[in-house]
Amino acid sequence: MTFMELACNRYSERHFDSRPVEDEKLQKILEAGRIAPTACNYQPQRIYVLKSPDALEKARRTKASLYSCPLVLLVCYDSETVWKNPGDRCYELYNAGEQDASIVAAIMMFEAEDLGIHSLWIRGFDSRSVIDTFELPANHIPVMMLALGYPSEDSRPAHLHAKRKPLDETVIVL
């Protein structure tokens, strides 16, 4: 399968099967994130693997839309490790943490897809609730959750999946 085929096949999964994700596959997914590029190679990503019933129950308490997924990766960045740009005149000490964490998460998402594991990118949660529930250290800034699992028989793309703007609406050629 080409990367383009993989990218076209992926869609947000909201109908997970209860079958657990095998540890070997989880390790490959985490490894894909490990080799992701990050600003200045500082590798500020901090990934919480939520797979015990207790951890998943806590994740659900944050009101994140996890559906029935058996595994969640909570992707954070370490604000003490992240690259900051002192020379940016729009943002005071711009930091690349959200970008780094998102690149890591995206690469893990596509590795999962390649392994037959479906995913859902989740940001619809209250950061305070995530910080308090998991008692995150103050320097671990939650960016997103990646829900992972096998598709169930009901699995199908939601209507938004088919709605992509044409390139001429999103690409500006100068």
Cα end-to-end distance, the chain, whole Å: 33
**Neighbouring residues of 169: CB distance < 8 A, sequence distance ≥ 6:** none
Least separation in angstroms between CB 65 and ligand FMN: 4
Which position's Cβ is nearest ligand FMN? 124
Tell me the closest approach of the beta carbon of residue 169 to ligand FMN, in angstroms: 16
Give me the amino acid identity at 164: R
How much helix, strand and coil, in percent to the nearest 5, is found in the chain?
35, 20, 45
Residue 164 Cβ vs ligand FMN, minimum distance, rounded to whole Å: 8
Nearer to ligand FMN, 93 or 167 (CB): 167
Q: Which secondary structure element, helix H or strand E, spans residue 71, and what is its range?
A: strand 71-78
Residues contributing to the site for ligand FMN (CB under 6 A) = 11-12, 65, 120-124, 157-158, 160-161
Q: Which is nearer to ligand FMN, 37 or 124 (CB)?
A: 124
Both tokens of 128, joined, read: 């305070």
CA-to-CA dists, residue 109 to 55, 64, 67, 73, 120, angstroms = 20, 18, 17, 10, 8
Q: Which is nearer to ligand FMN, 82 or 147 (CB)?
A: 147
Nearer to ligand FMN, 34 or 63 (CB): 63
| Element containing residue 47 per DSSP (H, E) | strand 45-50
Name the minimum Å distance from CB 174 to ligand FMN. 26
| Residue among 125 and 134 whose Cβ is closer to ligand FMN | 125
